Structure 1
Amino acid sequence: MRKATIPDIARHAGLSTATVDRALNGRKGVSAANRHRVLKAAEELGVLPSEGMVRLPSRPAHLVFLIPFGQNKFMRDLARSITNLSTALPLVASCNIVTMDGIGPDALDRALDAVSPNTHGVGIITTDQPRSRATINRLCESGVRVVTIASDLPDTARSSYVGVDNRIAGRTAGQIMGMLAQGRTGNVAVILGSRRFHGHSERERGFREFLREQLPTLTVASAIETGEDNRRSNAATLDLLRRMPDIAGIYCVGASRTGIVEAIEPLGPRRPSLIMHDLTDSSREWLRRQLVDVVIDQNPRLVGEQAVIRLLGSIAATTPLLSLKPIEPRIILRENIPAAAP
Structure 2
Amino acid sequence: PEDLAATLKDLGRRCHAIGMVAPDHPKITAAVEELKAKGIPVFSLLSDFAAGVREGYVGLDNRKVGRTAAWMFSKAAKRPGKVAVFVGSHRFQSHGLRESGFRSYFRENEPAFEVLDTLVNLEKREITYEALLDLMQREPDLVGFYMAGGGMEGAISALRDECKGQDLVAIVNEITPESRRALADDVITMALATPLRRLCQELMPLMDNAIKTGTAETPGQTFLPFDIYLPENI
**What's the TM-score, normalizing by structure 1?**
0.64
- 1:45-91 Cα distance to aligned partner (Å, 9 max, x none): xxxxxxxxxxxxxxxxxxxxxxxxxxxxxxxxxxxxxxxxxxxxxxx
Aligned residue in 2 for 1:80:
none
Structure 1 position 143 matched with structure 2 position 24 = no
Aligned residue in 1 for 2:87:
192
- Structure 1: which amino acid aligns with 2:230? L
Aligned residue in 1 for 2:173:
277
* SS of match in other structure, 2:43: strand
Aligned residue in 2 for 1:314:
210
Whether the 8 Å CA contact 2:9–2:35 is kept in 1: the answer is: no
Measure the CA separation in 2 of the matches of 1:319 and 1:231. 42
Once the two structures are TM-superposed, the CA of residue 322 in structure 1 deviates from its matched residue by 5.9
Whether the 8 Å CA contact 2:87–2:119 is kept in 1: the answer is: yes
Measure the CA separation in 2 of the matches of 1:181 and 1:126. 34
Whether the 8 Å CA contact 1:264–1:271 is kept in 2: the answer is: no
Q: 1:327 aligns with which of 224, 228, 233?
A: 224
Q: 2:115 aligns with which of 213, 217, 220?
A: 220
- 1:219-244 Cα distance to aligned partner (Å, 9 max, x none): 11231001111111111111111111
Count of residues paired in the alignment: 232
Structure 1 position 248 matched with structure 2 position 159 = no
- 1:263-314 Cα distance to aligned partner (Å, 9 max, x none): 1223235231100111111111110011111011111222233222322222
- Highest relative contact order (Cα 8 Å, sep 6+), 1 or 2? 2
Structure 1 position 239 matched with structure 2 position 134 = yes
- 1:179-223 Cα distance to aligned partner (Å, 9 max, x none): 1125x2211000111110010001001101111011101111231
Whether the 8 Å CA contact 2:82–2:144 is kept in 1: the answer is: yes
Identity of counterpart residues, as a percentage?
30
Misfit runs of 4+, over 4 Å: none
Structure 1 position 268 matched with structure 2 position 175 = no
Measure the CA separation in 2 of the matches of 1:271 and 1:261. 13
Instruction: Note closer, same or farther for the CA distance 1:268–1:313 as it changes in structure 2 (3 Å cut).
Output: farther
**What's the TM-score, normalizing by structure 2?**
0.93
Measure the CA separation in 2 of the matches of 1:152 and 1:113. 18
Whether the 8 Å CA contact 1:193–1:254 is kept in 2: the answer is: yes
Whether the 8 Å CA contact 2:44–2:58 is kept in 1: the answer is: yes
Aligned residue in 2 for 1:56:
none
Q: 2:192 aligns with which of 290, 296, 312?
A: 296
Measure the CA separation in 2 of the matches of 1:107 and 1:210. 36
Q: Which runs of 5+ in 2 are unaligned?
A: none
Q: Which runs of 5+ in 1 are unaligned?
A: 1-104, 338-342
- Structure 2: which amino acid aligns with 1:190? V
Once the two structures are TM-superposed, the CA of residue 154 in structure 1 deviates from its matched residue by 5.2
Measure the CA separation in 2 of the matches of 1:196 and 1:125. 12
Measure the CA separation in 2 of the matches of 1:119 and 1:195. 30
Whether the 8 Å CA contact 1:274–1:293 is kept in 2: the answer is: yes
- 1:74-121 Cα distance to aligned partner (Å, 9 max, x none): xxxxxxxxxxxxxxxxxxxxxxxxxxxxxxx12212323532525210
Instruction: Note closer, same or farther for the CA distance 1:128–1:253 as it changes in structure 2 (3 Å cut).
Output: same
- 1:126-180 Cα distance to aligned partner (Å, 9 max, x none): 1011111111111111210111000001523111101001111011111111111
Measure the CA separation in 1 of the matches of 2:9 and 2:51. 23
